[in-house]
Amino acid sequence: MRMEKRDLIRQMKYFQAVVRLGNFTKAAEECFISQSAISQQIQSLERELGVTLMVRERRNFSLTPAGEHFYKKSLVIVSDYDRLCEETMRLAHGGKRELTIGYLRHYQGRELKRTVAEFREKHPEVLLSLIKGTHEELYDALRGRKADLVFSDLRRKPSDQYVNYYLTKGYFYAEVTRNCPLAQMESITMEELKNTPCILIAPKHQEVDEEIFYREYLGAKSEFLFADSIEEAHLLVATGRGYLPVEFNQLPTEEVEEMRFIPVLGGGKQLYREYYAFWPVEADNELLRDFAEILRSHFPTEATPKII
């Protein structure tokens, strides 16, 4: 029995992920299936086509000329197919269904990216838009109905006007260069960092609010330097200008050669911040809850991360 067209499109996507990432394991992770399953699906695709698309050599592979041709042409086919499905579903629902999601300017994890990919696959009829900002900017966007849901930290008493959907804890680390003397410490306190400038990410009009938060919540005692983006903040650290307070609920598995992350302690325990998804109670619906549930599912089980 020949495969259904929907199966063929899905197998094209698996094949494209493997080629794009150059790795079966990473492609399987991105596609939310096992490595053995994605390999079997590509073999099934090859059997259906009656050609060899890739030559496997231990952990590596190379595309055949037929594989190169199929990869390039399949990108256009899958893109057109996805767009056709989305447009058709939106028309069936009486037009576009849109959601605007807000996230923090300093956020650098992969959870949101994975959530967006999974949500779009589950709800292709919904047009997703993303905005970023500081805590206060996101709060203003939510109040002004410029965002339907925001992924942000908890800084004030939860309001009953909003659904407060708990996501995870972010544990604080001081990011410094590996050649900085502080990089030799196993943990550090704000008292020990008082002579090292603290680098924060905020626009001019939000600098005072961010400084107040870090002084009152974290007990920061040093002077502050401000960056416009996470990239600029990392460069300030790399040039030895100060330390960047970063948060993880699970430290990156990939080694960062230039940097070291030192746990920041307060009262003998590692400091952390709680993160929630917020949206207005009056706008509560299944789509928003589904997005929040998918987002929470991509955060690992809570546990204080290991030190790099």
Q: Comparing C-alpha atoms, which of 38, 45, 47, 53 is closest to residue 8? A: 45
Write the pLDDT tens digit of every residue in 162-216.
999 999 998 999 999 999 999 999 999 999 999 999 999 988 988 998 999 999 9
Question: What span, in angstroms and rounded, lies between the C-alpha atoms of 123 and 117?
Answer: 10
> Which amino acid is residue 96, in one-letter code?
K
What is the DSSP secondary structure assignment for residue 1, as one 8-state letter? Answer: -
What is the DSSP secondary structure assignment for residue 181, as one 8-state letter? Answer: G
Return the SS3 of 277: strand
User: Which residues, including other chains, have CB under 8 Å from residue 76's CB and lie 6 or more apart?
Assistant: none
Whole-model pTM: value is: 0.65
- pLDDT at residue number 59: 75
Q: Comparing C-alpha atoms, which of 153, 129, 125 is closest to residue 275? A: 153
Question: What span, in angstroms and rounded, lies between the C-alpha atoms of 117 and 302?
Answer: 23
Would you say 190 and 264 are in contact if contact means Cβ atoms under 8 Å apart? yes
User: What integer is the mean pLDDT of 285-307?
Assistant: 80
- pLDDT at residue number 308: 38
Question: What span, in angstroms and rounded, lies between the C-alpha atoms of 263 and 265?
Answer: 6
Write the pLDDT tens digit of every residue in 68-123.
999 999 999 998 888 787 777 667 666 557 899 999 988 878 899 999 999 988 88
Would you say 308 and 260 are in contact if contact means Cβ atoms under 8 Å apart? yes
Phi, psi at 95, each rounded to 5°? 120, -170
Instruction: Please name the helix (run of DSSP H) or strand (run of DSSP E) that holds residue 75, with its range, or none.
Output: helix 65-92
- pLDDT at residue number 130: 95
Write the pLDDT tens digit of every residue in 267-283.
899 999 899 999 999 99
